[in-house]
Amino acid sequence: MLIPERWEKRGVQIAVTLICTLPVVSYELLHARTGQVIAGLGGYLAFVITLGALFTASGGIHLEGDIEATPRTNTLFLLVGAVLASLVGTTGASMLLIRPLLQTNRQREHRAHLVPFFILIVANVGGLLTPLGDPPLLIGYVEGVPFFWTLRLFPIWFLYVASLLATFYVIDTRAYRRESSIAISADRAEVVQLALVGRRNLIFLLAIVPAALLPPGFREVSLLAITLASYFSTPRAVHESNAFNFGPITDVAILFAGLFLCLGPVEVTLANAAPHLPMHSAWRLFWGSGLLSSLLDNAPTYSAFAALARGLGSHSASLVAGIDPLKLAAVSAGSVVMGATTYIGNGPNLMVKAVAEREHYTMPSFVRYSAFAFSTMLPAHLIVTAALWWLDR
């Protein structure tokens, strides 16, 4: 945030990652904790290769067109995005839908609310149902959470998606009534039917789920094969239409190398300290992981709070990856949904903001967006908090 023009240089990213990582790795090796380093590398490869397959396959699909920008159309866009986010990831769904949504609404004059709601619904809360949906859940899967366990979070997903869509529909309907007759006429006169280009990549996206369920080793090889097949079979014109390049996934690969290699001692320390920290209840884990996700990034936050929850122990006979199921649900939900609270809470947030600004959409400042996101999601936050408190009694 302080020196973005320097940070964009790969050499600076690598240097910062090495400076922060080498002391931790050296400590682990010197204290005969080689197993933690090997486990970190294994988790890192599984994470980056899975994310890379999703990124590449979704980047080979382009949705183009300009349909009438009614509140019903826009709400349907967001609903489709919320469903796709759990199937192709929040990044993939965001990059697939943001450009046609902006194109559809380019004739409208009252549209300031559009992209902020898109960030909330498509770039964040929509990814709550599967490990492919959002990086925190993918880390959980790599660390032993069963692939389909997150489907149990459907009530939380439905609460956030339904409440946000209802709020958006009301706001967009009011905005649409204020549109001038000139804007509405131009919108209706410039309709171009939606068309999906690069449909072969839908097959690759569908193949990622069974590939991700394979044993380690076979999983990574299969996902690499899907990545290469998608990239080399996609026409260059499709990649150009999506402004596709490997820059974003390279950023992730560099930073998460440091994250995974540093996780070992962090998780051990938090697990040991957990009984002495004021985080014993599920609702506190929900808010703790959520607020830190807003200010940091939701993936490392999930790792930290999952380790903390693991150290709390449980009387439950059905632990999930060593964690009480209710506490794991709280950490998963908090990390994913509250990553929407700021532009830096989740990677797609900044990507969507950048695309919108290139298309001449005015975006709120960091503080204004954060205030909007927190206040809009607060009713759902409070309902989840009450439910977690009730279930954890």
Instruction: Specify the pairing of strand 62-66 against strand 192-197.
Output: antiparallel
Q: Is 317 a residue whose pLDDT tops 70? A: no
In a domain, 1, yes or no: no
Percent of the chain with pLDDT over 90: 44
pLDDT of residue 203: 92
Q: Residue 160: enclosing H or E segment and its boundaries?
A: helix 154-177
- pLDDT beyond 70 at 359: yes
| Residue bearing the bigger pLDDT, 258 or 337 | 337
Domain containing residue 223: 29-391
Four-point Cα dihedral 9, 353, 55, 289, nearest 10: 90
In a domain, 193, yes or no: yes
What pLDDT, on a 0 to 100 scale, did the predictor assign at position 116? 96
Name the least confident of 82-96, 200-214, 242-256, 289-303: 242-256
Domain membership of residue 108 (yes or no) is yes
Helices (H) and strands (E) in the chain, counts: 17, 2
Q: Decide if pLDDT at 314 tops 70.
A: no
- Dump pLDDT digits (tens) for 100-148: 899 899 888 898 999 999 999 999 999 999 998 998 999 899 888 999 9
Q: Say how far apart CA 108 and CA 183 lie, in whole Å.
A: 6
How many domains does the chain contain in total? 1
Cβ(365)–Cβ(342) below 8 Å: no
85's tokens = 């986010």
Q: How confident is the model at residue 67 (pLDDT cuts 50, 70, 90)?
A: confident
**Considering the entire predicted model, what is its pTM?**
0.85
* Closest among 316, 321, 318 to 303, alpha carbons compared: 321
Return d(Cα 149, Cα 213) in angstroms, integer: 13
What is the band of 228 on the pLDDT scale with cuts at 50, 70, 90? very high
pLDDT mean over 44-62: 88
Is residue 170, in this structure, part of any structural domain at all?
Answer: yes
Residue 13 belongs to some domain of the structure: no
Mean pLDDT of 190-198: 84
**Between 88 and 225, whose confidence is greater?**
225
pLDDT of residue 315: 59
Flag whether pLDDT at 167 surpasses 90: yes
| For residues 208-213, average pLDDT | 89
Averaged confidence pLDDT in the chain: 89
> Which of the four pLDDT bands, split at 50, 70 and 90, describes residue 337?
very high
pLDDT at 4 over 80: no
Question: Residue 217: is it exposed, middle or buried by C-beta count within 10 angstroms (0-12/13-18/19+)?
Answer: exposed
314 in a structural domain: yes
Report the pLDDT averaged over residues 4-20: 86
Q: Is residue 140 part of a domain?
A: yes
Q: What's the pLDDT at 169?
A: 97
pLDDT band at 222 (very low <50, low <70, confident <90, very high): very high
